[in-house]
Amino acid sequence: MNYTTQMDAAKKGIITDEMKAVAKKENIEVEILRKGVAEGKIVIPANKNHKALSPEGIGEGLKTKINVNLGISRDCPNVDVELEKVKVAIDMKAEAIMDLSSFGKTEEFRRKLIDMSPTIIGTVPVYDAVGFYDKELKDITSKEFLDVARKHAEDGVDFLTVHAGINKRTIEVFKKNERVMNIVSRGGSLLYAWMELNNKENPFYEYYDELLDICEEYDVTLSLGDSLRPGCIEDGTDAPQIEELIVLGELTKRAWERNVQVMIEGPGHIAINEIEANVLLEKKLCHNAPFYVLGPIVTDIAPGYDHITSAIGGAIAASVGADFLCYVTPAEHLRLPTLDDMKEGIIAAKIAAHAGDIGKGIPGAKDWDYDMSKARRKLDWEKMFELAIDKEKAIKYREESTPELHDSCTMCGKMCSVRNMNRVMEGKDVSILKE
């Protein structure tokens, strides 16, 4: 039986190779996975032209995945530097990489990225349009925006972030509701400017059916971008954000009618007490489509530490149902991340994802923690290093401060509670002062 997309196959009862691969990784029955894909609750971003892909599933009942943002810009156009980051991100087992390139040899970088990456690859076509055509934003035509999306799909991109929800209707709501930070989405601000300069409807909204043609042909998953996401906690969960979310829910249903897979992108900067409500709203208004969040960042005061502010929000969001976390690095709001920034961002996001999986009861999520706890009780340092999410850092810290006794560390020494409890439980003496 023939099928066009993973969703089309799932609706027809077909188990694809990609479904089999994901079910094995997730340790779930493939029929459960197929049903989730058919209902739109799970996506398997897998472009037909991405030959190096090792498929991953994103959505209900699956482990929370993380995304790493990379790409060249006008100020940092070095392709080789970004490709080195790609290699490290793959080694660190990030499930997805987004190419946010906006200047220079974007096509060269994108093709090399797709050729070498087993990870899911995403892009934002509107970023690439200005450089691709070498034209000012206002002079790009609606057709040209769609043509860039087609080009990315042909190259093998697995998901496209498209800001189709910012239309004339949502702009009116935005204009009537003053914000502290206006529009902070790069794609959203570019399309808002284009619409205002040309007095036209958003081309990705007006010609959404043509966009769906492209996605159906190559089995590209649509990641519906949140143009009006809050850029500070003061703007969180406001009328423009929710109005756009309503539109994204409408666009989700239209995509599903064409068997195009959909994710919904979410905030952004959100106060910690509003995170659960935001996840609930997305799931309700967008019909349980997978939710992809940037952070969310829970306070605006920590430039240089936003990998921490986002990990706090990401862990909470994942624990209450978010499916996909976009990493944030210490360089957020400050500059393009370095390789070391990227590593810190990945570790923070992976910690958040894992903590979220424990919270929402993903089967087997706690096994890793249980094994670490057993190693700690035994004071088995080698096993602890083997299980650590960042083995190199754990070993480095241990070696920087050598304890007197191998079965302790320099924090507690002979007062180590684990060491002394082991000795007491074994009927041995506990000596603190004597040799």
Which residues does the annotation place in the binding site?
69, 98, 127, 163, 185-187, 226-229, 265, 269, 292, 333, 409, 412, 416
**Binding site per annotation, positions for [4Fe-4S] cluster:** 409, 412, 416
Q: Residue 435 and residue 433: Cα distance in Å, rounded?
A: 7
Q: Are 62 and 321 in contact (CB under 8 A)?
A: no
Is the backbone peptide bond immediately before 77 cis, with ω within 30 degrees of 0? no
Which of 147, 182, 186 lies closest to 163 in space, CA to CA? 186
Size (the chain), residues: 435
The contacts of residue 401 (CB under 8 Å, 6+ apart) are 409, 410
Instruction: For residues 57 and 26, give the distance between their C-alpha atoms in angstroms, rounded to a whole number.
Output: 8
Contact predicate 413/405, CB 8 Å? yes
Q: For 27-141, where are the alpha helices, taking DSSP H only?
A: 30-39, 79-91, 106-116, 125-133
Known binding-site residues for Zn(2+) equal 269, 333
Could you give the 3-state DSSP secondary structure of residue 136?
Answer: coil
Q: Which helix H or strand E contains 264, and what residues bound it?
A: strand 262-266
Tell me which residue of 5, 431, 2 sits closest to 216, measured CA to CA.
5
Helix (H) or strand (E) holding 223: strand 221-224
> Do the strands 42-43 and 96-99 form a parallel or antiparallel pair, or are they unpaired?
unpaired
Find, among 182, 181, 117, 209, the residue nearest to 155 by Cα: 117
Is the distance from CB of 381 to CB of 405 less than 8 angstroms?
no
Measured at the alpha carbon of residue 57, what is the angle toward residues 83 and 292, in degrees to the nearest 5? 75
What are the tokens at 247?
A: 């539109």
Beta pairing partners, 69: 98
Q: Give the CB-side neighbour count of residue 274, counting CA atoms within 13 A.
A: 19
Binding residues for substrate: 69, 98, 127, 163, 185-187, 226-229, 265, 292
DSSP 207: T
Q: Specify whether the CB–CB gap between 418 and 435 falls below 8 A.
A: no
Q: 68 pairs with which residues across the strands?
A: 97
